[in-house]
């Protein structure tokens, strides 16, 4: 493969800085902290969190105990605003010392990217758009859209989301981007091809196509089963499902967990994971945002390439699948930067 070295110009650096700055502006945790971040291995800015319940092991728990375990895990991954305020006051400084802001280290990022091809990957909800009570109203601002458009002029750019790909496209409305919906199980490139890769027209990857009938069937069952729980919303993201409980009274979480379990127990080929105020239902295939990232890098001609500099910006637990890609890609491990926005 021919190496595609690039020199990051001052203008491009400013655009990448703008993209990160606008994304960070959605989060209240990245406020100024007058302490110097620690010196450590370059290239990894992430978030540590409490150990959550592994929902795959719930088969060993019976009845009420299992439901209680679900609810405990739901609370752990979806803290209330009150708890979040306490967290910000007590632990913000120490947290940022261990996980320095990409903005504070931006010059180091630019230095590390010199002579390399930058590739931008971004989550949508909570990163490019605010977290809202109604997921259908998660619109991105005009300023954010213009920033993403400027980024795509300089670097290959992809949106990687748990949402249905078509829905994300309707939110973003930028035809020059790559879109990976359904946690990376539905990938499509720019319709007119990409200026960064010849012959990339119609790049398409749908590794979970065989699960479509099952997903549709479970969607209808969950809608019917959860309609008695006020505030619950089931979203069909084509190759996966989301059960939103952001608007559900916490006292009703046990009821909702029981409803979801009563449906999923009949579908062993589907698995349950969690995000912030959402239960995610996906096929059991080994595919996630990390696999999507690898596929996109390969499609662009950067697989096993030592001169590529991917940047991933995300805010939720599912984005950690993309963060882990660096461990499986030794050739780019030192050049993989992550920005994790901790939002509620």
Catalytic residues, which ones? 123
| Rounded distance between C-alpha atoms, residue 274 and residue 224, angstroms | 21
| Rounded distance between C-alpha atoms, residue 101 and residue 33, angstroms | 10
Task: Decide: helix, strand or coil at residue 273.
Answer: strand
Q: Which residue has the tokens 């030794």?
A: 330
Token pair recorded at residue 11: 């203008």
Burial label, 119 (beta-carbon count in 10 A; 0-12, 13-18, 19+): buried
Sign of CA dihedral 89, 90, 95, 100: positive
| Rounded distance between C-alpha atoms, residue 99 and residue 95, angstroms | 6
Give the strand pairing for 270-275 and 278-283.
antiparallel
Helix axes 212-226, 253-264, angle to 10 degrees: 140
In eight-state DSSP terms, residue 197 is B
Query: Do residues 214 and 156 lie in contact, with contact meaning Cβ atoms separated by under 8 Å?
Result: no
| Rounded distance between C-alpha atoms, residue 43 and residue 100, angstroms | 11
């Amino acid at each position: 493969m021919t190496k595609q070295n690039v020199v990051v110009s001052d203008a491009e650096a400013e655009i990448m800085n703008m993209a990160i700055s606008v994304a960070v502006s959605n989060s209240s945790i990245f406020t100024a902290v007058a302490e110097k971040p620690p010196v450590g291995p370059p290239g990894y800015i992430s978030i540590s969190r409490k150990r959550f319940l592994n929902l795959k092991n719930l088969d060993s728990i019976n009845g009420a105990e299992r439901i209680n375990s679900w609810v405990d895990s739901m609370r752990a991954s979806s803290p209330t605003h009150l708890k979040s305020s306490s967290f910000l006051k007590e632990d913000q400084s120490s947290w940022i010392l261990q996980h320095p802001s990409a903005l504070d280290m931006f010059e180091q990022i630019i230095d590390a990217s010199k002579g390399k091809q930058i590739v931008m990957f971004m989550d949508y909800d909570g990163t490019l758009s605010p977290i809202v009570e109604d997921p259908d109203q998660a619109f991105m601002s005009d300023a954010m859209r213009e920033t993403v458009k400027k980024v795509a002029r300089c670097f290959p750019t992809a949106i990687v989301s748990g949402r249905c790909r078509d829905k994300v496209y309707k939110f973003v409305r930028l035809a020059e981007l790559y879109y990976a919906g359904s946690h990376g199980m539905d990938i499509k490139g720019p319709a007119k091809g990409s200026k960064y890769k010849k012959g990339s027209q119609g790049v398409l990857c749908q590794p979970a196509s065989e699960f479509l009938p099952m997903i549709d069937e479970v969607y209808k069952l969950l809608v019917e089963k959860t309609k008695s729980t006020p505030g619950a919303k089931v979203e069909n993201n084509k190759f996966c499902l989301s059960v939103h409980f952001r608007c559900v009274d916490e006292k009703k979480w046990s009821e909702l967990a029981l409803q979801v379990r009563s449906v999923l127990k009949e579908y062993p080929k589907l698995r349950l994971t969690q995000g912030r105020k959402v239960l995610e239902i996906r096929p059991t295939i080994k595919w996630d945002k990390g696999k999507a990232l690898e596929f996109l890098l390969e499609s662009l001609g950067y697989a096993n390439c030592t001169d590529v500099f991917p940047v991933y910006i995300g805010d939720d637990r599912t984005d950690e699948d993309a963060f882990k890609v660096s461990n499986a890609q030794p050739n780019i491990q030192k050049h993989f930067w992550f920005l994790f926005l901790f939002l509620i």
